[in-house]
Every structure is written in structure tokens, then in C-alpha cells.
Amino acid sequence: PKKRLTFPSQWRNAIGEEGVIFVLPDPRGCLMVLSQAEMAAKIQRFKNKALFDSALNSKLQAIASNSDQLAFDTQGRIRISDKLLRYAEIEDEVVLLTGFTNIEIWAAKKAPSSDVVDMDKYTNAIKDLGF
């Protein structure tokens, strides 16, 4: 009812001591969670750009205004904005999926199944990424 989400402690520990995360809408209809370090690495690419690059600033503003920067409370919970919850159609139960460098938050009713190993998809990912 308070729309708070508790992250598993091992995931919070993996995020780092700062306990700050960024939540962004993902084009697939879920929410993407990035650690502060991961977001800083993405933003670093723009540090050497011109200060008054209006096209770049407009794009960064579009990302920032549609994202949440959140800190965990003492019980490891966050409160995602209503705007992002509506986007992902999250009303009650969620499924958290990890992608090593990010976490995805899915509405339980929309979450991709993770009950079966998809060897074709897995093998192609390993091959394409040179893992």
C-alpha cells in the first residue's frame, strides 16, 4: 500500500556502500535499475562535451526527467515515483531480474519467464559477447 520495494540484502551489497540507485524506464516495459557507479560511468562519456551543447543537454534532460535517483532507507527499501510505476504497469507484485550490471523490475503479470533455461538464447549471448 505504501508502494515501497525492498531489495534483497545481497543485491544492495552488490550495488555498493553509497546505496544510491537510478531507476529508468526500459523500452520493453519494465524499469531498469543502475547503481550510482554504473550511472556515473555512462555519464562520464559526456564530461568532455561542450557545456552549452543544446542537443546533448536536451537529451540528457529527457533521460533525467524520466528517471528516479533513489537512496535505500534503513530497511533496504525504495519508493519509485508513481510516473515510473504507471509506465511499467506495476500495481502490486514485482519480479526482480538481474543482468550483472543492472537490475530489471517487472510487473509480475508482465515478467518474462525465468523457469526454463533457453539454451539457444544463452548460447547466442555467450558467443556474441565473447564471454
The reported pLDDT for the residue numbered 65 is: 93
pTM comes to 0.83
Which whole-number Å values give the CA distances from 106 to 47, 81, 82, 91, in the listed order?
Answer: 32, 15, 15, 11
> CA torsion, points 73, 63, 82, 97, in degrees to nearest 10?
-60
The reported pLDDT for the residue numbered 83 is: 96
The reported pLDDT for the residue numbered 130 is: 87
What is the tens place of the pLDDT at every residue in 51-101?
787 888 898 899 999 999 999 988 889 999 999 999 999 998 999 888 777
- DSSP secondary structure string for all residues of the chain: ---EEEPPHHHHHHH-TT-EEEEEE-TTSSEEEEEHHHHHHHHHTTTTS-TT-HHHHHHHHHHHHT-EEEE--TTSEEE--HHHHHHTT-SS-EEEEE-SS-EEEEETTTPPP-SS--HHHHHHHHHHHT-
Whether the CB-CB separation of 7 and 75 falls below 8 Å is answered with no
